[in-house]
Amino acid sequence: MTAFIWKCFMAACAAANNLPSLMVHAVDLRSRAVPPFSENCFGNFLWIAAVAAAESMKLTGHDQANLVTKVRESIRRIDGNFVKIMQGDEGLIGYIKNLEETNALIHGEANCLNFSSWCNFGVYDIGFGLGKPIWVANYVSTDSCNSPKLKDVMFLDNRYGKGMEVYVTLKNNTLQH
């Protein structure tokens, strides 16, 4: 799904400019640590998987398969060893090393699309004293946001657990070319 949406985004941006495209996907580190962090640990334990692609790709079916491979590889790269070097006494040095490797993927200006997934978070199982929610949604006001480059995609399990909802937030002018 990520590669398909990214491919469509690249096609829409191609009319506006010939900048490379950058896909950034948030990755939860809890389950990737060895041993995994407790489900009850508090705080943000995440990293970003980043992939760059030339905007001038012809975006054929073969290119989409290539995007799928690139996305999978970037996420798989964040494994137990990746997390381990950011722990312990040398954790800060490992963190900086991982950050430098991630930043090396990002060269100059690009059409960036950010992905996040709330799938398997159990958001429909949470009761806040008023019963379980009947609908959970993501809302980002692009009118009040100061970022001119706001381009986000969020995946969320549907209420019945047998599908997924996708929220795409783009500035109005992103697709007007």
Q: Are strands 164-170 and 151-157 parallel, antiparallel or unpaired?
A: antiparallel
pLDDT value of residue 142: 53
Q: How many domains does the chain have?
A: 1
Residue 65: φ, ψ to 5°: -60, -40
Residue 103: φ, ψ to 5°: -65, -25
Low-confidence ranges of the chain (pLDDT < 50): 144-146, 148, 177
Name every residue whose Cβ is closer than 8 Å to that of residue 20 and which is 6 or more positions away in sequence: 52, 53, 54, 55, 107, 110, 111
- The domain in which residue 126 lies consists of 2-175
Helix count (H) and strand count (E) of the chain? 4, 5
Question: What's the token pair of residue 155?
Answer: 């995946």
Integer CA distances (angstroms), 53 to 39, 67, 152, in order: 34, 8, 17
As a whole number of angstroms, the distance between CA 177 and CA 174 comes to 8
Q: In this structure, which long-range contacts are made by residues 138-143, counting pairs with CB atoms below 8 Å and at least 24 apart in sequence?
A: 138/167, 138/169, 140/169, 142/169, 142/170, 142/171, 142/172
- Nearest alpha carbon to residue 30 among 15, 19, 40, 20: 40
What pTM did the predictor assign? 0.80
As a whole number of angstroms, the distance between CA 123 and CA 58 comes to 39
Which CATH number do you get for residue 54? 3.30.559.10
pLDDT value of residue 144: 47
pLDDT value of residue 145: 46
As a whole number of angstroms, the distance between CA 76 and CA 91 comes to 20
